[in-house]
Chain A
Amino acid sequence: TQLLEQSPQFLSIQEGENLTVYCNSSSVFSSLQWYRQEPGEGPVLLVTVVTGGEVKKLKRLTFQFGDARKDSSLHITAAQPGDTGLYLCAGANGGYQKVTFGIGTKLQVIP
């Protein structure tokens, strides 16, 4: 069974601060996805990383895939209240693309 561990599970910060959340596994994934989920809604895909060492930027969000494709990080610069939500990482392996989700990091950005 492939497991994805996310840390921290909960994070409460002030508007304007920077933060990093982590997604770690002992397994190798062919790709890793980050989602954000808000209460009462489904997860929304933020990014997919596929190459070891890959870095992708989405405005104030920076995603990195570990060289060994076992871990990933999400860094948010100058967090805004609109960044509040549950951040989920999900690992996929080829074939028919069954994905394994981490438990998520619940982020609260206080104005």
Chain B
Amino acid sequence: NAGVMQNPRHLVRRRGQEARLRCSPMKGHSHVYWYRQLPEEGLKFMVYLQKENIIDESGMPKERFSAEFPKEGPSILRIQQVVRGDSAAYFCASSSQGVGNQPQHFGDGTRLSIL
């Protein structure tokens, strides 16, 4: 998983604060996906981005959550005014193409804890 870099690995926030999660895709990959994993649950798709574009955000909560993947720099998942229910592991994956059967490569995730 060294190819996809996520930071921080662990993030603690108090209710009402903002959380910023970063993801640097594998070299040469321009497609990024964010997932959320809760204990005893599977990975839930949140958003799919390509450089500077949001392709599919159907899994994103309507409020407080946003994502971007700028031309330069990592992809950012931003959670505003965090609540206890936001506590989860957030994973980023990247792929070289968005079509066909190209595999996704995952990072090791950011574990977000809300106090």
Contact: A97 with B1, CB < 8 Å?
no
Measured between beta carbons, the chain B residues less than 8 angstroms from A40 are 108
For B, the interface residue count at a CB cutoff of 8 angstroms equals: 31
Contact: B95 with A104, CB < 8 Å?
no
Q: Does A25 touch B at the CB level, under 8 Å?
A: no
How far apart sit A103 and B69, CA to CA, in the bound complex (Å)? 28
Contact: B42 with A101, CB < 8 Å?
yes
With beta carbons under 8 angstroms apart, the residue of A42, A50, A92 that contacts B108 is A42
**Tier of interface size on chain A:** 20 to 34
Which stretch (B11-19, B60-68, B70-78, B96-104) binds chain A?
B96-104
Interface on B for A, CB 8 Å cutoff? 1, 4, 6, 31, 33, 35, 40-45, 48, 55-56, 91, 93, 95, 97-109
